[in-house]
C-alpha cells in the first residue's frame, strides 16, 4: 500500500470512529460509552501503525484534537441535552463535516465555514421550536467552541507538518551532500575547495598528489604548497581563475608541474574556489621534446640552404651545420660558437639590438632577428635568425635552437625599392620647380613613367585617383601590377616598340585598380630619352575611357537596335504609323501604304485624321490625350477611310513615343486590317446560330416523334385487352349474356370504340402537326371503298331509321391511301348519321373529275349555318344548333379529313342551304399518278 493511501485510510478510520463515538454517546444510556470510543480510537491508531511509526507528527495533533473534542464536546452535549431536552442531531453532522475538512485540508476556513453553516441552521431550527431566547446562549457557546477546536486542530497540524518537513529536507540535503562527498572521494582527479587561499577540504586524490595527509592540508595556505617562483602566477590566478594555471611544486614527489583549473562555487553558504589539479610534468617534457623534433625536422628540410644552430645555455656552445658558418663568412667551421659570437658578428649599430633579442628569447620562447653582419673578410651581409627555446626534463629552458638565412638578396631588393623611392622623391623635388612637373601633377590624365624593364619610376596624382595606388606604393614596382593577366604580354610588345623609339597609342586597354575593379583607359606611350638621346624609359598618359566606352557601346547598340527595328517596322504586315502630339503623321510604313492607299511621302506631314470617317475626328483627340498622359490606347475595332474613299475596319494599338529624356513626343500606332476577320467572324457567328437553331429544331422534331410513338403505344395498349375481354363476354357461347347484360356490354363496347377512335384521331392530328402523317398509296377502286363504307354503316343506318343510299356510278380507280380514304368517308358518314334524324336520308356519291374523282356525302339532317361553314374544318370546332341536343365528338374528325385529303393533293368542302335543310360534304382526289410506294403497308398480310 502506498504511503498516501495508508494515510488517507487512517484519517478515514479516525473520522469513522469519532462518528461512532458520538452516536454511542447520544444513545440514552450512553454515559459509559466514552471508554468504548477511546478503545476504538486505539484500534485506529494500531491500524495505522505504519504511518504512526513513520509519520506520527502528522497524525498526532489530529488524533489528539479528535479525542479531545470528542470527550469535551460529548460532555457538553450531554449536559446540554439534559438541560434543554432539545434536538441536536444536525449539529453532529456539521461538526463532522468540518472535522473532515480540517483533517484533509489543514485549513482555517473549513471550521469557520462549518460554524457559520451550523449557526444558520441551528438558528432556524431553534426559531422553529419557538425557544430562541433559551437557546441563544447555548448557540453562541457552541459556535465559538466549534471554531476554536477546529481552528486549533488545523493550526497544530499545519505547524507540526511544517516543522517536520523542514527537518526532513535538511536530512535530505545532508544525504545528498554525503553522496557527493563520496563521489568526490572516489574521483581520481585531485579536487580541492579553498577560500581566501586556504584549503577548506580536499579529496583523497589531492592528498596523494600533494603527498600529505588531509589533516595537514585542511587549513594550509595554497601558496605554501607551491614553489615560490610560481607564487606570482598563482596570485594572478586567484584574482581571475578563468584560465588554467600551471604552477611548480617541490614536494615529496620531487619537482612537479601542476595544471590547475578552478571554478567559483558556493560552499557551505560561502563563495569558494573549487579546483581540480593534474600533474603535467611529464606532459610538458614530452611536449618540449616533440616540438624540438619538429624543429629538427624542418631544419633538416632546409639544410643546405639554411644554416642551423643550437645554442646550449649550460655550456654556452652552439652546434651548427656547415651552411651556418658559410652564412657568417667562415670558409672553414669555427671551433666554438658562443652567444657572444652571435652578437660580435653583428655590425656595431645592431649589436645592442641583437643582444636584447637573445635575452627576450629566453623569456618569450622565440627568437626573430634580422641583422647586418660583417664577415671576416670585411664585407657586409644580412642574416636572418629564427629560433625557439628548448626545455629540459624539469621544464627549465636548456637552450635556444633555430635557423639562419642569408637575407642579403632580399635586402638588396628592398634597397632598390628604397632607392627608387628616393629618386622619386628627388623627382618630386625637381618637379616642384618645373613647369612640366606642374603640368604632370595637375593633369587630369594619369601620367606614369617607367624604365625599359617596366618598373614604375613616377606616378602623378591623377594616376593615384585613377588606379587607387599611392605613388610610394607603386614606384619601384612593375607596371604589370595594373594589368590583368592577359595583358602582361601586351606590355612586353609596347616596351619593345618604345625601346625602338616609337610612340604607341592604345585606344582601349583594360587595367585593374588597387581594389580589383576593372577600368578601361586609352594609353598614349612615348619613349623617354636621356641627355644622349638613348631611350631609357617610357612616359605614358592614361585616360579613363570606361564611361566613354560604355556610352559608345550603348550608342552602337541603340543604332543597331533602331536599324533592326526599322527593318521590322518596314516588313511588318501591320500598318505602323508614328505621329507627333498634334496628330501629324511622322512616319508611315509600307503596310500602311497598302492598307490605306497613301504613299509615305503623301502621308507624312498630314494629320492622322485624314484616315477617319467624317465626323469621327474627335476620337483622335481622346487617343492623343491618353498618349500625352503616357497611357497606351487599344481600340478593338475602328472604321477608317482609304485614299479612294472606301472604308476598312482596323484594330488600333497606340503607345507613347519618348525621346532620350523620357519626354513623350508622340505616339506609335499599330493598325491591323480586320475587315476580313470581322466578316469571317460574323459569318462564323451566323453559321453557329443557324446550326444551333437547326440542332434545336432537330431536337424538337426528335422529341415529337418519340412522344407520338410513345403516346400511340401507351394509349393503344390498354385498349386492346379491354376490347378483347368485351368481345369474349359478348361472344361467349357457353355463357351467353342475358339481354340486359348485353345492353350493358354494348354501351361499354360503343364507348370503348369511341375512345379508340378518339385516340387514333388525336394521334393522327399529332402526326399531321408534326408533319409525320404519311400516305401509303396504292391503286384504289373508289367504288369498292364506297361499298365497304356502306356495309359498315348499314347496321347503324337501320338502327337510326335513316336511309343510306349509294348513288350509282362508274368505277374510278386512283392512287390513294385506302385506309385514309376510308377514314375520310367514315368520318363524313358518321357526322351525317349523327345529325340526321330518323326518317332522313344519307347519300354517298362518286363522280369522275378529269383524271381524279369527287366523292360526296349528303344528308337531309340539321344543316349548317352559312357563317359556320368556313370554320368547319378547323381543329376542335363543333358546330351545334343550340335548339338541338349536342352530339358527342372530339371536333377533330373534319380537321383530320382535311389533312388526309390535302395530303392526297385534293380539296374538301361543304355546302348547306341553311339550318334544318341538310348538308353536302365533298372531297376530291386528284388523278395525278403517284410515285409507287417504297414502304410496305402497315398492315401487310400475304395470303398463303
Q: How far apart are CA 641 and CA 613, in angstroms?
A: 6
Minimum CB distance to another protein smaller for 614 or for 713: 713
β-pairing verdict for 198-202 and 777-781:
unpaired
Minimum CB distance to another protein smaller for 339 or for 712: 712
Minimum CB distance to another protein smaller for 76 or for 719: 719
Minimum CB distance to another protein smaller for 412 or for 716: 716
Residue with cell 407520338: 708
Q: Which residues bind another protein (CB under 8 A)?
A: 709, 712-713, 716-721, 723-725, 727-728, 731-733, 756, 760, 774, 776, 935-944
Number of residues that make up the chain: 944
Q: Are 801 and 775 in contact (CB under 8 A)?
A: no
Q: Rounded to the nearest whole angstrom, what is the least distance from the CB of residue 719 to another protein in the complex? A: 8
Q: How far apart are CA 28 and CA 704, in angstroms?
A: 108
Q: How far apart are CA 205 and CA 346, in angstroms?
A: 54
Q: Rounded to the nearest whole angstrom, what is the least distance from the CB of residue 808 to another protein in the complex? A: 30
Where helices occur in 258-347 by DSSP H, the ranges are 281-302, 322-327, 339-345
Minimum CB distance to another protein smaller for 413 or for 720: 720
Which triple of cell numbers denotes residue 414?
628592398
With 0-12 CB in 10 A as exposed, 13-18 as middle and 19+ as buried, what is 113? middle
Residue with cell 606604393: 473
Q: Rounded to the nearest whole angstrom, what is the least distance from the CB of residue 817 to another protein in the complex? A: 11
Minimum CB distance to another protein smaller for 597 or for 933: 933
Which triple of cell numbers denotes residue 399?
637552450
Q: Rounded to the nearest whole angstrom, what is the least distance from the CB of residue 877 to another protein in the complex? A: 25
Q: Rounded to the nearest whole angstrom, what is the least distance from the CB of residue 804 to another protein in the complex? A: 21
Q: Rounded to the nearest whole angstrom, what is the least distance from the CB of residue 647 to another protein in the complex? A: 56
CA-CA distances (angstroms) from residue 96 to 6, 12, 30, 596, 643?
21, 12, 19, 115, 119
Minimum CB distance to another protein smaller for 318 or for 823: 823
Q: Are 895 and 874 in contact (CB under 8 A)?
A: yes
Q: Rounded to the nearest whole angstrom, what is the least distance from the CB of residue 818 to another protein in the complex? A: 13
Q: Rounded to the nearest whole angstrom, what is the least distance from the CB of residue 866 to another protein in the complex? A: 38
For 552-555, the CB contacts below 8 A with 24+ separation are: none
3-state secondary structure of 540: strand
Minimum CB distance to another protein smaller for 286 or for 937: 937
Where helices occur in 644-781 by DSSP H, the ranges are 675-730, 739-769
Q: Rounded to the nearest whole angstrom, what is the least distance from the CB of residue 938 to another protein in the complex? A: 5
Cα angle value 776/782/788 (rounded, 5°): 95
β-pairing verdict for 919-925 and 908-911:
antiparallel
Cα angle value 316/318/320 (rounded, 5°): 175
- Say how many C-beta atoms besides its own lie within 10 A of residue 352's C-beta: 11
Q: Residue 234 has what DSSP assignment?
A: H
Which triple of cell numbers denotes residue 795?
347496321
Minimum CB distance to another protein smaller for 20 or for 711: 711
Minimum CB distance to another protein smaller for 728 or for 738: 728
Edge to edge, the sheet with strand 575-580 lists 585-588, 575-580, 664-673, 647-658, 633-641
3-state secondary structure of 762: helix
Q: How far apart are CA 275 and CA 280, in angstroms?
A: 15
Minimum CB distance to another protein smaller for 379 or for 709: 709
Closest CA to 710 of 766, 775, 751: 766
Q: Are 597 and 642 in contact (CB under 8 A)?
A: yes
Q: Rounded to the nearest whole angstrom, what is the least distance from the CB of residue 935 to another protein in the complex? A: 4
Q: Are 442 and 364 in contact (CB under 8 A)?
A: no
Q: Rounded to the nearest whole angstrom, what is the least distance from the CB of residue 857 to another protein in the complex? A: 23
Q: Rounded to the nearest whole angstrom, what is the least distance from the CB of residue 793 to another protein in the complex? A: 16
Q: Rounded to the nearest whole angstrom, what is the least distance from the CB of residue 795 to another protein in the complex? A: 14
3-state secondary structure of 402: strand
Half-sphere exposure of 357 (CA within 13 A, CB side): 21
Minimum CB distance to another protein smaller for 669 or for 768: 768
Minimum CB distance to another protein smaller for 32 or for 942: 942
Minimum CB distance to another protein smaller for 723 or for 834: 723
Minimum CB distance to another protein smaller for 886 or for 942: 942
Q: How far apart are CA 926 and CA 930, in angstroms?
A: 10
Amino acid at each position: 500500500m502506498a504511503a498516501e493511501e495508508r494515510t488517507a485510510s487512517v484519517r478515514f478510520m479516525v473520522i469513522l470512529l469519532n462518528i461512532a463515538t458520538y452516536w454511542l454517546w447520544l444513545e440514552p444510556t450512553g454515559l459509559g460509552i466514552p471508554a468504548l470510543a477511546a478503545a476504538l480510537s486505539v484500534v485506529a491508531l494500531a491500524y495505522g501503525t505504519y504511518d504512526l511509526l513513520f509519520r506520527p507528527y502528522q497524525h498526532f495533533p489530529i488524533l489528539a484534537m479528535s479525542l479531545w473534542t470528542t470527550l469535551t464536546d460529548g460532555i457538553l452535549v450531554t449536559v446540554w441535552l439534559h438541560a434543554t431536552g432539545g434536538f441536536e442531531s444536525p449539529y453532529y453532522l456539521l461538526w463532522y463535516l468540518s472535522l473532515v475538512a480540517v483533517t484533509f485540508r489543514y485549513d482555517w476556513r473549513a471550521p469557520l465555514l462549518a460554524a457559520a453553516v451550523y449557526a444558520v441552521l441551528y438558528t432556524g431550527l431553534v426559531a422553529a421550536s419557538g425557544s430562541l431566547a433559551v437557546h441563544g446562549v447555548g448557540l453562541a457557546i457552541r459556535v465559538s467552541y466549534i471554531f476554536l477546536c477546529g481552528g486549533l486542530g488545523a493550526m497544530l497540524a499545519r505547524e507540526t507538518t511544517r516543522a517536520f518537513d523542514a527537518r526532513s529536507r535538511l536530512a535530505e540535503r545532508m544525504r545528498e551532500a554525503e553522496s557527493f562527498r563520496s563521489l568526490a572521494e572516489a574521483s581520481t582527479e585531485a579536487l580541492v575547495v579553498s577560500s581566501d587561499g586556504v584549503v577548506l577540504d580536499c579529496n583523497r586524490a589531492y592528498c596523494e598528489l600533494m603527498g600529505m595527509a588531509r589533516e595537514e592540508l585542511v587549513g594550509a595556505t595554497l601558496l605554501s604548497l607551491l614553489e615560490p617562483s610560481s607564487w606570482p602566477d598563482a596570485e594572478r590566478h586567484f584574482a581571475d581563475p578563468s584560465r588554467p594555471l600551471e604552477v611548480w611544486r617541490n614536494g615529496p614527489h620531487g619537482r612537479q608541474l601542476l595544471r590547475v583549473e578552478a571554478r567559483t562555487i558556493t560552499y557551505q553558504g560561502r563563495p569558494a574556489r573549487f579546483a581540480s589539479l593534474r600533474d603535467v610534468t611529464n606532459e610538458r617534457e614530452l611536449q618540449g621534446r616533440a616540438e624540438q623534433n619538429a624543429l629538427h625536422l624542418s631544419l633538416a628540410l632546409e639544410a643546405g640552404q639554411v644554416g642551423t644552430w643550437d645554442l646550449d645555455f649550460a655550456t654556452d656552445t652552439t652546434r651548427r651545420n656547415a651552411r651556418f658558418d658559410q652564412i657568417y663568412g667562415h670558409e672553414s667551421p669555427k671551433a666554438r660558437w658562443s652567444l657572444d659570437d652571435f652578437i660580435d658578428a653583428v655590425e656595431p649599430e645592431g649589436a645592442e639590438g641583437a643582444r636584447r633579442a637573445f635575452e627576450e628569447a629566453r623569456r618569450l620562447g622565440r627568437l626573430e632577428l634580422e641583422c647586418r653582419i660583417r664577415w671576416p673578410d670585411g664585407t657586409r651581409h644580412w642574416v636572418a635568425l629564427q629560433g625557439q627555446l628548448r626545455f629540459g626534463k624539469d621544464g627549465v629552458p636548456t637552450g635556444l635552437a633555430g635557423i639562419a638565412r642569408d637575407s642579403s638578396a632580399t635586402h638588396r631588393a628592398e634597397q632598390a625599392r628604397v632607392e627608387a623611392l628616393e629618386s622619386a622623391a628627388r623627382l618630386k623635388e625637381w618637379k616642384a620647380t618645373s613647369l612640366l612637373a606642374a603640368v604632370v601633377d595637375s593633369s587630369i590624365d594619369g601620367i606614369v613613367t617607367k624604365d625599359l624593364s617596366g618598373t614604375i619610376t613616377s606616378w602623378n596624382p591623377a594616376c593615384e585617383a585613377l588606379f587607387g595606388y599611392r605613388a610610394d606604393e607603386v614606384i619601384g614596382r612593375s607596371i604589370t601590377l595594373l594589368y590583368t593577366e592577359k595583358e602582361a604580354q601586351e606590355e612586353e610588345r609596347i616596351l619593345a616598340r618604345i625601346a625602338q623609339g616609337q610612340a604607341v597609342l592604345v585606344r582601349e586597354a583594360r587595367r585593374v585598380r588597387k581594389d580589383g575593379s576593372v577600368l578601361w583607359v586609352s594609353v598614349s606611350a612615348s619613349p623617354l630619352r636621356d641627355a644622349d638621346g638613348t631611350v631609357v624609359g617610357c612616359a605614358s598618359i592614361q585616360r579613363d575611357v570606361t564611361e566613354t566606352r560604355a556610352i559608345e557601346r550603348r550608342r552602337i547598340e541603340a543604332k543597331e537596335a533602331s536599324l533592326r527595328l526599322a527593318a521590322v517596322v518596314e516588313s511588318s504586315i501591320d500598318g505602323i504609323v508614328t505621329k507627333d502630339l498634334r496628330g501629324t503623321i511622322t512616319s508611315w510604313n509600307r503596310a500602311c501604304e497598302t492598307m490605306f492607299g497613301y504613299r509615305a511621302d503623301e502621308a507624312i506631314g498630314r494629320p492622322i485624321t485624314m484616315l477617319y470617317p467624317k465626323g469621327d475626328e474627335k476620337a483622335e483627340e481622346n487617343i492623343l490625350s491618353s498618349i500625352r498622359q503616357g497611357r497606351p490606347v487599344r481600340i478593338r475595332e475602328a472604321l477608317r477611310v482609304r485614299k479612294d474613299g472606301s472604308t476598312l475596319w482596323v484594330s488600333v494599338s497606340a503607345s507613347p513615343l519618348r525621346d532620350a529624356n523620357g519626354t513623350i513626343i508622340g505616339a506609335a500606332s499599330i493598325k491591323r486590317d480586320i475587315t476580313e476577320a470581322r466578316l469571317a467572324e460574323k459569318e462564323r457567328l451566323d453559321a453557329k446560330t443557324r446550326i444551333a437553331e437547326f440542332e434545336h429544331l432537330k431536337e424538337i422534331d426528335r422529341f415529337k416523334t418519340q412522344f407520338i410513338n410513345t403516346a400511340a403505344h401507351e394509349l393503344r395498349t390498354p385498349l386492346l385487352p379491354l376490347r378483347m375481354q368485351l368481345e369474349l363476354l359478348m361472344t361467349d357461347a357457353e355463357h351467353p349474356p342475358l339481354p340486359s347484360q348485353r345492353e350493358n356490354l354494348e354501351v361499354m363496347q360503343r364507348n370503348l370504340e369511341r375512345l379508340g377512335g378518339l385516340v387514333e384521331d388525336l394521334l393522327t392530328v399529332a402526326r399531321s402537326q408534326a408533319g409525320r402523317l404519311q400516305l401509303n398509296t396504292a391503286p384504289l377502286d373508289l367504288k369498292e371503298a364506297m361499298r365497304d363504307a356502306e356495309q359498315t354503316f348499314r347496321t347503324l343506318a337501320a338502327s337510326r331509321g335513316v336511309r343510306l343510299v349509294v348513288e350509282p356510278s362508274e368505277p374510278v380507280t386512283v392512287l390513294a391511301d385506302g385506309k385514309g380514304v376510308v377514314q375520310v368517308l367514315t368520318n363524313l358518314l358518321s357526322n351525317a348519321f349523327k345529325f340526321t334524324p330518323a326518317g332522313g336520308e344519307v347519300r354517298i356519291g362518286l363522280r369522275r373529275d378529269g383524271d381524279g374523282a369527287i366523292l360526296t356525302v349528303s344528308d337531309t339532317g340539321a344543316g349548317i349555318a352559312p357563317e359556320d361553314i368556313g370554320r368547319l374544318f378547323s381543329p376542335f370546332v363543333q358546330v351545334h344548333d343550340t335548339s338541338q341536343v349536342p352530339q358527342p365528338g372530339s371536333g377533330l374528325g373534319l380537321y383530320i379529313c382535311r389533312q388526309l385529303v390535302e395530303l392526297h393533293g385534293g380539296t374538301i368542302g361543304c355546302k348547306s342551304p341553311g339550318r334544318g335543310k341538310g348538308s353536302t360534304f365533298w372531297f376530291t382526289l386528284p388523278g395525278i399518278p403517284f410515285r409507287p410506294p417504297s414502304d410496305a403497308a402497315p398492315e401487310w398480310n400475304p395470303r398463303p
